[in-house]
């Protein structure tokens, strides 16, 4: 073994000596194209990157306000003036402190939270932290950021980041967050594109909220969910339960995968005989993948034996009465399992049976099935067929037909619908008519198995931005920010009433500040109730109330938790005392 | 070592004695499986200590390689089996009469002891701990799969893990959900035991939508019990290793062990290179290097081309390349000429003052006069992180995607292998990627040269070559197989197969 210290000694001697010779060779060595140069280029880029982040941190000291103003236009200036009033009078700093302090059990919890600000000059400042609501307010008023992001809770106050070695500063906890953005739906939207939204396509968001809200509560048992309009074309969700905040990165990734479906390719599926109709998105092949895969695979092998199990009667899963003229109950479940084929052939249908029978149903994860029954199925007609009119033109129906595995059926439908376009206006089929026809035909086709369900999932199931949810140190825009482009306030959405939420009429910066001015000018408003707050005079009122209910529920959970802990402690102590007493008694004998 | 560890185990000392299925001859080892909750109470010789540890290490390395290289689960098992049976053979209980209880006892004792030695050796850094946990868990699960069902069940019962069985009433209340999630008939559902655990314990099942979850609880069917066992093993060992790490500083009392332990831990970090054959003892002359570049692994080709381009190499690069050349058989005299001519922009005086010392140093003639050995891959990959103007290091780690692609092209790698290599590289498996490169470009020659080995390897389903651990190993394999697969050529060192 070479002796390390000795090697190191010569190393330093030699690097010194090489100072000059490196200089003279430096230029030649950076010649591109050759292998050595190649690796070097890469490192330079990395190097540049590091410098960038340094610059970013270097800019921690906020630029003087004059400097900011110089770079922006007059209307922006007006925006900033309103924004400052908004921060001064309306932004709920105290409530934020209540929220992110989580009962202050750990009294530095709030202070260890990362905040980051985007200034009007486009300067982006990370790793800010504040000890109190007043601190936060003071700094926000001083900088007047056009965007506020909330990051993770670190092991230290993020503003002290530079005082420790790089590895010693780490993200510990964060709410489990979700980000759903309308642009991810562009391939199924027919009304608007990119940043635009309208009430029609907002339906996709409503569906996403309904499904995710239920899954997070019922499946994972989370209780404290804050849904927030992102100010333009999407929604965020902040799952704030203690258990959610403490989730590892792996756990977050698993939840995201659980909540994502990528419908398998219908055409390839029909040949492969894959039993799983829905595949989770992005398999990251994590560490213990194989251990698990092997456990599962062997299980799946055994599973394959179930074909030998006795074939049994029909099943009907429906616990909900839904008006549905073009599907019998049977099709709600349309199975593609070979097993099922077998079963179908052997036993006659019993369409009126209300319960799941004895036999094996096709695999349909309970969570997906529930989303399908409670939300997707209903919304498909309304959102996709009616609002989006997704079978309305040849271009649109071609997209849908592409998911039909039966190629012959595909072209038959296409021809028929094309013909129909030429008939008289009152005879031209609607999207709904075409869907009914397609469903009927698919039911007849041997190859189509789950194709109908697949199409519905493909069009409507929530599409998540996985990275936002997984990374512990990812930032997400704070609720109650003002979107600088639309002027809309990022208000909370009540998931119970999400169907009524209209993103086009949410309070705007101009609206709320204006309303406040008007209200405050009215003489009868001079005397106000002791604890009447400014927001109550604006359209923010119902949203603030929803936010406070959310806060109250968190506070109650915290209280319950503390009480249970205390009780447990007390019980333990009592037991200990009891034991001591008995010991003493033993001694006295 | 054992004394100092006792506090880690507090109450469990007699756990094994109370099992119901004890054959007294097996002592504390009623099963071939072991969760290692109790440290071994034996006196060991230093010799035993070291060989046990190294044997286990060989198996763990095979486990690691198996998972990286084999694509199918049963191929993984066959791969592990080869190394396992050779270094850590463990007979199952059914063989008790066949081979005798004493043998079983001895094997299990060795398994037990070697596990605890590696715990001591690998507890020091989070990286080492992670590595050990990962491989030990995989090894445990391999053995678990090999064991018989009855033995497995008995073992699990004795473990007494915290995973409550779902009551019949509760199962009935979610029967529909369970049946749809798994696609089961009522009969099958009713005959299946479910365990209820926090969903965080079975993340992979959750991610794959293979388990029903309700209010944060996962309902795990008994067929997925291995997942629970693996997780239990993993978290148990992780906790134990952290405890050991805290306790280790107190071990100083027994200072004979420290050097042994750290040399064991280094086995993970550095494989010293032992020449594969005698034939390699050829002397390589200074002017033959360019002709041998075709047999150089990427790291060395990179240094060679940098040297030719710049007529210079910086210090660490000189060490890396110089020791490699020494390893392929270049004696000191030749090395001095090689470097002198390579640094041709320099005056004699500059060279003698600044660099000749270095060359002699490599050969142990200066400084501490140690006969330095060539750097292993791990050493190249993990030490002396190269800066922006450096050329040393492992290209798989240091190069950008595109540059790596160019480099692979220069080896004449085909598309499919290229994708493999890119993927392995991306996942940080640099040596495995390098091995793939070798197989893709030299596989045929290698196969021909090792024709006699072929049959036995094919049976074991082992890969063509073991993972590259050392640049000199790469060089030797490439050179020897090129020479032997083309017997008409007599002077192997003139072969330059893939140099383009
Ligand atoms: S893996 Fe080893 S031999 Fe291959 S390039 Fe990297 S350091 Fe060289
Ligand atoms: Zn729209």
Same-domain status, A302 and A426: yes
Domain boundary among A421, A441, A460: A460
Shortest distance, CA B486 to any CA of chain A (angstroms): 30
| Residue of higher predicted confidence among B264 and B470 | B470
pLDDT tier for residue B158 given thresholds of 50, 70 and 90: confident
Residue B281 is assigned to a structural domain of this protein: no
CA distance A137 to chain B (A): 37
Residue A450 has pLDDT above 60, yes or no: yes
The answer on B176 and B144 residing in a single domain is: no
How many distinct structural domains can be found in chain A?
Answer: 2
User: Which position has the token pair 């140099």?
Assistant: B499
Contacts of B259 in chain A (CB under 8 A): none
Q: Is residue A579 part of a domain?
A: no
* Same domain (yes/no): A281, A243: no
Q: How many domains does chain B have?
A: 3
B434 labelled binding-site residue: yes
Please check if B123 is assigned to a binding site. Answer: no
In a domain, A197, yes or no: no
Query: Separation of A194 CA from ligand 2 center, angstroms?
Result: 10
Query: Do both A425 and A474 map to the same domain?
Result: no
Best of A366, A369, A372, A450 to disrupt the B interface (most B CBs within 10 Å) is: A366
In a domain, residue A518? The reply is: yes
Are B293 and B343 found together in one domain? Answer: yes
Residues A299 and A441 grouped into a single domain: yes
User: Which listed ligand is nearest to A383 at the C-alpha?
Assistant: 2
- Say what the pLDDT of residue A362 is: 86
Would you state the pLDDT for residue A406?
92
Q: Is the dihedral of CA B355, B358, B363, B364 positive or negative?
A: positive
Indicate the residue among A436, A460, A484 that finishes a domain.
A460
A213 is catalytic: no
Using a 10 angstrom Cβ sphere, with 0-12 exposed, 13-18 middle and 19 or more buried, the burial of residue A558 is middle
Sort strands A176-181 and B194-198 into parallel, antiparallel or unpaired.
Answer: unpaired
Q: Do B152 and B172 lie in a common domain? A: no
- A510 and A397 share one domain: no
Q: How far apart, in whole angstroms, are the C-alpha atoms of residue B397 and residue B424?
A: 11
Do B73 and B207 lie in one domain? The reply is no
- Please tell me which residue of chain B has the smallest CA distance to A257: B207
DSSP strand pairing (A262-263 vs A225-229): unpaired
- Domain contains B494: no
Query: Higher model confidence: residue B353 or residue A152?
Result: A152
More confident residue, B446 or A550: A550
pLDDT above 90 (res A117)? yes
Q: Judge if B90 and B43 occupy the same domain.
A: yes
Q: What integer pLDDT is reported at residue A352 of this predicted model?
A: 32
Q: Look at A363 and B188 and tell me if their CB atoms are within 8 Å.
A: no
Tell me how far apart the alpha carbons of residues A356 and A354 are, in angstroms, rounded to a whole number: 7
Residue B243 has pLDDT above 50, yes or no: yes
Percent composition of chain A: helix, strand, coil (DSSP 3-state, to 5): 60, 10, 35
Structure tokens at A486: 């639309």
Residue B473 counted as domain residue: yes
What are B227's two structure tokens?
Answer: 């997942």
The larger pLDDT score, comparing residue A461 to residue B267, is at A461
The answer to the question of residue B243 being in a domain is yes
Nearest to A290 among B76, B175, B372 (CB): B76
Does the annotation mark A179 as catalytic? yes
Check pLDDT > 70 for residue B16. Answer: no
Q: What per-residue confidence (pLDDT) applies to B254? A: 58
- Which ligand is in closest contact with the Cα of A204? 2
Q: Which residue among B316, B379, B380 has the greatest number of ligand 1 atoms within 8 angstroms of its CB, and so is best to mutate?
A: B380
Band of residue B23 on the pLDDT scale cut at 50, 70, 90: confident
B419-476 pLDDT tens trace: 889 988 988 889 889 998 998 888 877 877 766 554 544 444 455 667 888 899 899 8
- What's the predicted TM-score (pTM) here? 0.67
From the candidates A149, A175, A179, A406, which is the catalytic residue? Answer: A179
**Residue A456 near residue A439 (C-beta atoms within 8 A):** no
Q: B331 and B196, same structural domain?
A: no
Q: Are B19 and B258 in contact (CB under 8 A)?
A: no
A17 plus A147 within the same structural domain: yes
Domain membership flag for residue A330: yes
Q: How far is the CA of B128 from the centre of ligand 1 (A)?
A: 21
Judge whether A106 lies within some domain. Answer: yes
Which of B213, B215, B305 lies nearest to residue A35, judging by beta carbons? B305
For residue A401, is it within any domain?
A: yes
Select which of A173, A181, A314, A336 is catalytic: A181
| In a shared domain, residues A477 and A396 | no
Residue A217 has pLDDT above 80, yes or no: yes
Here the tokens at position B294 are 């075709």
**Mean pLDDT score of chain A:** 76
Same domain, B253 and B110: yes
**B83 & B98 share domain:** yes
Please write the tens of the pLDDT for every residue from B161-178.
Answer: 878 899 999 999 999 999
Whether residue B128 is contained in a domain is answered as yes
Please tell me the predicted confidence (pLDDT) of residue B21: 53
Q: What is the 3-state secondary structure of A390-438? A: CCCCHHHHHHHHCCCCCHHHHHHHHHHHHHHHCCCHHHCCCHHHHHHHH
State the smallest CA–CA distance between residue B1 and chain A in angstroms: 25
Residue A290 to residues A123, A282, B137, B230, Cα–Cα distance (Å): 45, 16, 11, 11
Q: What is the CATH number of the domain that holds A160?
A: 3.90.920.10
For residues A253-268, give the mean pLDDT: 72
Residue A164 phi/psi, 5-degree rounding, is -120, 170
In a domain, A558, yes or no: no
Residues with a CB atom less than 6 Å from ligand 1: B 297-299, 377, 380, 394-396, 430-431, 434, 468, 471, 474
- Pair B349, B313 in one domain: yes
CA–CA separation, B292 and B474 (whole Å): 12
Backbone dihedral angles phi then psi of residue B165, each to the nearest 5 degrees: -80, 135
Q: Are residue A437 and residue A511 in the same domain, yes or no?
A: no
Query: Given A460, A485, A508, which residue is the final one in a domain?
Result: A460
Query: Looking at the domain assignment, is residue A60 inside a domain?
Result: no
Q: Are residues A360 and A271 in the same domain?
A: yes
> Is there a single domain that holds both residue B64 and residue B142?
yes
- Are A391 and A504 in the same domain? no
Q: Which domain holds residue B172?
A: 161-225
* Domain contains B279: no
B96 falls in which pLDDT band (50, 70, 90)?
confident
Return the percent helix, strand and coil in chain B, to nearest 5.
65, 5, 30
Same domain, B96 and B185: no
Range of the domain at A438: 260-460
CATH number for the domain that contains residue B252: 1.20.930.80
B76 shares a domain with B184: no
Residue at token pair 């994972």: A220
Cβ–Cβ < 8 Å for B278, B141: no
Instruction: Please indicate, yes or no, if residue B292 is contained in any of the structural domains.
Output: yes
- Decide if B457 is inside a domain: yes
Report which of B298, B308, B343, B305 is spatially closest to residue A34, judged by C-alpha positions.
B305
Contact of A241 with A216, CB cutoff 8 Å: no
Backbone dihedral angles phi then psi of residue B22, each to the nearest 5 degrees? -75, 125
For Cα atoms B195, B204, A376, give the angle at the middle one, nearest 5 degrees.
90
Protein residues placing their CB within 5 Å of the ion ligand 2: A 191-192, 198, 200-201
Task: Find the catalytic residue in A114, A175, A203, A454.
Answer: A114
Indicate if the pLDDT at residue B301 is higher than 70: yes
Scanning B295-354 for CB atoms below 8 A from A yields 301-303, 305-306, 309-312, 314-316, 319, 346, 354
* A420 and A319 inside one domain: yes
């Amino acid at each position: 073994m070479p002796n390390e210290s000795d090697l190191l000694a010569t190393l330093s001697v030699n690097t010194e000596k090489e100072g000059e010779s490196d200089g003279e060779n430096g230029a030649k060595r950076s010649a591109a194209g050759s292998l050595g140069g190649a690796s070097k280029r890469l490192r330079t880029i990395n190097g540049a990157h590091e410098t960038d982040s340094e610059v970013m941190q270097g800019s921690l000291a906020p630029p003087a306000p004059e400097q900011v103003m110089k770079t922006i236009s007059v209307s922006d200036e007006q925006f900033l003036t309103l924004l400052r009033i908004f921060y001064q009078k309306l932004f709920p700093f105290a409530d934020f402190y209540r929220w992110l302090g989580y009962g202050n059990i750990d009294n530095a919890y709030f202070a260890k939270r990362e905040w980051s600000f985007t200034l009007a000059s486009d300067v982006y400042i990370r790793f800010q932290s504040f000890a109190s609501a007043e601190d936060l307010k003071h700094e926000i008023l001083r900088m007047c950021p056009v965007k506020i992001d909330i990051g993770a809770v670190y092991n230290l106050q993020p503003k002290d980041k530079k005082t420790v070695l790089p590895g010693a500063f780490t993200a510990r906890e964060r709410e489990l967050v979700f980000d759903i953005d309308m642009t991810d739906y562009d391939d199924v939207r027919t009304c608007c594109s990119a940043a635009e939204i309208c009430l029609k396509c907002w339906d996709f968001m409503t569906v996403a909220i309904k499904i995710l809200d239920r899954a997070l509560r019922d499946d994972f048992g989370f209780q404290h969910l804050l849904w927030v309009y992102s100010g333009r074309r999407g929604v965020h969700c902040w799952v704030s339960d203690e258990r959610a905040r403490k989730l590892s990165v792996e756990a977050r990734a698993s939840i995201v995968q659980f909540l994502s479906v990528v419908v398998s390719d219908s055409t390839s599926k029909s040949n492969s005989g894959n039993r799983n109709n829905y595949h989770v998105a992005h398999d990251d092949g994590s560490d213990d993948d194989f251990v698990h895969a092997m456990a599962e695979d062997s299980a799946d092998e055994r599973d394959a034996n179930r074909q030998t199990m006795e074939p049994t009667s029909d099943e009907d899963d429906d616990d909900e009465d839904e008006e549905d003229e073009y599907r019998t109950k049977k099709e709600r479940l349309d199975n593609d399992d070979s097993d099922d084929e077998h079963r179908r052939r052997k036993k006659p249908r019993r369409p009126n049976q209300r319960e799941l029978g004895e036999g094996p149903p096709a695999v349909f994860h309970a969570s997906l099935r529930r989303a399908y029954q409670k939300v997707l199925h209903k919304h498909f007609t309304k959102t996709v067929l009616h609002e989006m009119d997704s079978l309305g033109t040849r271009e649109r129906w071609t997209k849908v037909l592409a998911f039909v595995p039966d190629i012959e059926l595909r072209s038959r439908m296409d021809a028929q619908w094309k013909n129909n376009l030429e008939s008289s206006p009152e005879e031209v089929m609607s999207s709904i008519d075409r869907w009914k026809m397609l469903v009927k035909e698919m039911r007849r086709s041997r190859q189509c198995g789950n194709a109908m369900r697949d199409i519905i999932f493909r069009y409507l199931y929530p599409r998540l931005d996985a990275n936002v949810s997984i990374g512990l140190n990812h930032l997400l825009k704070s609720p109650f920010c003002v979107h600088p482009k639309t002027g809309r306030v990022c208000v909370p959405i009540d998931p119970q009433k999400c169907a009524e939420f209209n993103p086009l009429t949410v309070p705007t910066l101009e609206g709320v500040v204006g309303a406040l001015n008007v209200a405050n000018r009215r003489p009868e408003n001079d005397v106000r109730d002791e604890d009447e707050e400014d927001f109550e005079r604006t359209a923010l009122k119902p949203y603030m109330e929803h936010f406070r209910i959310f806060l109250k529920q968190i506070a109650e959970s915290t209280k319950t938790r503390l009480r249970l802990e205390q009780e447990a402690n007390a019980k333990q102590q009592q037991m200990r005392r009891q034991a001591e007493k008995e010991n003493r008694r033993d001694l006295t004998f | 070592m054992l004394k100092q560890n006792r506090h880690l185990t507090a109450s469990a000392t007699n756990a094994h004695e109370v099992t119901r299925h004890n054959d007294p001859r097996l002592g504390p080892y009623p099963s071939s499986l072991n969760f290692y909750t109790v440290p071994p109470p034996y006196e060991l010789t230093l010799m035993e200590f070291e060989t046990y540890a190294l044997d286990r290490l060989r198996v763990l390395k095979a486990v690691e390689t198996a998972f990286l290289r084999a694509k199918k689960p049963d191929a993984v098992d066959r791969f592990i089996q080869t190394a396992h049976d050779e270094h850590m053979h463990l007979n199952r209980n059914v063989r008790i009469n066949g081979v005798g209880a004493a043998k079983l006892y001895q094997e299990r004792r060795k398994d037990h002891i070697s596990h605890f030695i590696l715990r001591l050796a690998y507890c020091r850094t989070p990286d080492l701990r992670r590595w050990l946990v990962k491989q030990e868990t995989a090894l445990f699960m391999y053995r678990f799969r090999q064991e018989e069902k009855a033995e497995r069940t008995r073992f699990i019962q004795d473990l007494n893990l915290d995973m409550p069985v779902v009551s019949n009433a509760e199962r009935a209340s979610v029967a529909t959900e369970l049946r749809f999630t798994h696609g089961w008939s009522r009969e099958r559902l009713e005959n299946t035991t479910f365990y209820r655990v926090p969903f965080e314990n079975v993340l992979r099942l959750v991610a794959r939508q293979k388990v029903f979850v309700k209010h944060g609880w996962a309902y795990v069917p008994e067929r997925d019990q291995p997942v629970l066992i693996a997780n239990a093993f993993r978290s148990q060992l992780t906790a134990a290793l952290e405890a050991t790490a805290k306790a280790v500083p107190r071990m100083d009392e027994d200072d004979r062990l420290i050097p042994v332990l750290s040399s064991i831990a280094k086995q993970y970090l550095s494989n010293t290179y032992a020449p594969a054959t005698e034939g390699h003892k050829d002397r390589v002359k200074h002017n033959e290097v360019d002709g041998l570049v075709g047999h150089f692994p990427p790291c060395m080709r990179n240094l060679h081309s940098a040297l030719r381009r710049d007529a210079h190499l910086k210090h660490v690069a000189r060490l890396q390349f110089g020791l490699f050349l020494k390893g392929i058989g270049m004696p000191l005299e030749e090395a001095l000429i090689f470097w002198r001519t390579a640094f041709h922009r320099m005056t004699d005086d500059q060279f003698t003052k600044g660099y000749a010392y270095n060359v002699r140093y490599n050969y142990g003639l200066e400084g501490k006069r140690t006969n330095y050995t060539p750097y292993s891959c791990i050493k190249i990959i993990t030490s002396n992180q190269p800066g922006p103007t450096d050329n040393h290091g492992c290209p798989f780690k240091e190069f950008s995607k595109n540059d790596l692609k160019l480099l692979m092209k220069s080896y004449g790698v085909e598309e499919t292998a290229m994708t493999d290599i890119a993927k392995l590289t991306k996942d940080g498996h640099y040596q495995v990627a390098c091995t793939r490169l070798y197989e893709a470009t030299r596989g045929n020659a290698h196969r021909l040269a090792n024709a006699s080995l072929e049959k036995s390897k094919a049976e074991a389903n082992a890969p063509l070559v073991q993972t590259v651990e050392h640049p000199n190993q790469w060089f030797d394999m490439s050179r020897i197989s090129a020479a032997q697969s083309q017997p008409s050529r007599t002077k192997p060192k003139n072969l330059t197969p893939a140099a383009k």
